[in-house]
């Protein structure tokens, strides 16, 4: 394991304490014991995490602890490598896909997701205030680093309810010469796709209004959009078969090279006679 260069053992410990403060409020009396890593090196600490990195030649590293929070057992504390520059950052991963809603309790499930997301935002806001690297700060720095091509070829619609994710994915694709439009919800994306007929759609999987798979199903059911290739990006532990009728799956955090090669493959498949 190559040790991250921009974060230290103390950074991980500080980030974990902040996570603990919001995930398990002391006043609620539900706080488990905080891990004691005082005698461990950074590499030894990361060896206690689950390695969820992909195994492609250009994959970014991702180490996680499924720590949960006081309302939801599946939230993850993640240390991820940025796709640009190689720096690492901290991420509170809601992991909302771990539980599927039942028809009878859809409103309760939506409320749980909303509260879960609020905990995530509080954790990451405190990390930022404490000058710890977060996905938001890393993605902003990376987004401004990509070259801007002088021409565009194919046009791609990027769908993501997280603005930082959408901006970073869009910047990577623009740097490869693609024209980019973005949408922040499934319903907005369906309207844009029907109106603009993009050459390809890149969508997040875990979105509050409708999932990436549901977006794909609606696109396939529409005669005007059924032939558009669809790529779903996700942290979720799902397979391409699980996400059909989408055409491909790309796991986060992905590199620019992996995104480009997947997009090129889907566009070439569409152009084939």
pLDDT at 76: 92
51, β-bridge pairs: 63
Give the span between the Cα atoms of 219 and 198, in whole angstroms: 12
pLDDT at 150: 56
Q: Which two tokens stand for residue 192?
A: 């844009």
pLDDT at 126: 96
Give the span between the Cα atoms of 202 and 166, in whole angstroms: 10
Containing 273, the helix (H) or strand (E) segment is none
pLDDT at 229: 95
3-state secondary structure of 269: helix
Enter the pTM of the model.
0.70
pLDDT at 228: 95
pLDDT tens digits, 197-252: 999 999 998 887 788 999 999 999 999 999 999 999 988 778 878 888 999 999 88
Q: Which two tokens stand for residue 267?
A: 């566009």
Give the span between the Cα atoms of 222 and 209, in whole angstroms: 19
pLDDT tens digits, 56-68: 666 788 899 999 9
Residue in the block written with tokens 């996905």:
135
Question: Pairing state of beta strands 62-66 and 50-51?
Answer: antiparallel
Check whether the bond before 8 is cis (ω within 30° of 0).
Answer: no
* Nearest-10 crossing angle of helices 135-143, 163-175: 30
pLDDT at 15: 95
pLDDT (tens digit, 0 to 9) for every residue of the chain, 273 residues total?
566 678 999 999 999 999 999 999 888 776 778 878 878 889 899 999 999 887 766 678 889 999 999 998 889 999 988 876 678 999 998 876 655 555 557 778 778 888 888 999 999 999 999 999 988 777 777 666 556 665 567 899 999 988 888 888 888 888 888 889 999 999 999 999 999 999 999 999 888 778 899 999 999 999 999 999 999 998 877 887 888 899 999 988 887 888 889 999 999 887 665
Domain architecture of the chain: domains with CATH: 9-138 (no CATH), 146-271 (3.40.50.2300)
Q: Which two tokens stand for residue 219?
A: 């696109």
Give the span between the Cα atoms of 60 and 28, in whole angstroms: 37
Among candidate residues 232, 178, 162, the one with its CA nearest the CA of residue 202: 232
pLDDT at 112: 84
């Amino acid at each position: 394991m190559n040790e991250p260069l921009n974060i230290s053992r103390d950074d991980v410990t500080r980030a974990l304490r902040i996570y603990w403060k919001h995930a398990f409020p002391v006043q609620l009396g539900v706080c488990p014991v905080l891990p004691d890593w005082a005698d461990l090196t950074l590499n030894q600490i990361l060896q206690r995490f689950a390695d969820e990195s992909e195994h492609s030649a250009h994959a970014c590293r991702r180490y996680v602890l499924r720590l949960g929070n006081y309302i939801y057992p599946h939230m993850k504390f993640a240390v991820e490598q940025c796709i640009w520059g190689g720096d690492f950052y901290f991420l509170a991963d809601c992991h909302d896909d771990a539980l599927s809603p039942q028809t009878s309790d859809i409103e309760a499930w939506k409320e749980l997701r909303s509260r879960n997301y609020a905990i995530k935002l509080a954790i990451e806001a405190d990390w930022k205030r404490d000058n710890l690297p977060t996905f938001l700060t890393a993605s902003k720095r990376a987004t401004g680093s990509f070259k801007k091509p002088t021409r565009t070829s194919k046009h791609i619609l990027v769908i993501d309810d997280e603005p930082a994710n959408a901006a970073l994915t869009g910047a990577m694709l623009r740097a490869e010469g693609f024209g980019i439009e973005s949408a922040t919800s499934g319903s907005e994306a369906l309207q844009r796709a029907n109106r603009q007929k993009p050459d390809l759609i890149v969508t997040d999987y875990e979105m509050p209004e409708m999932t990436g798979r549901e977006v794909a199903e609606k696109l396939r059911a529409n005669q005007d959009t059924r032939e558009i290739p669809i790529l779903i990006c996700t942290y979720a532990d799902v397979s391409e078969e699980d996400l059909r009728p989408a055409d491909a799956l790309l796991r986060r955090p992905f590199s620019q090279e992996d995104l480009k090669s997947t997009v090129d493959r889907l566009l070439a498949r569409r152009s084939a006679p």
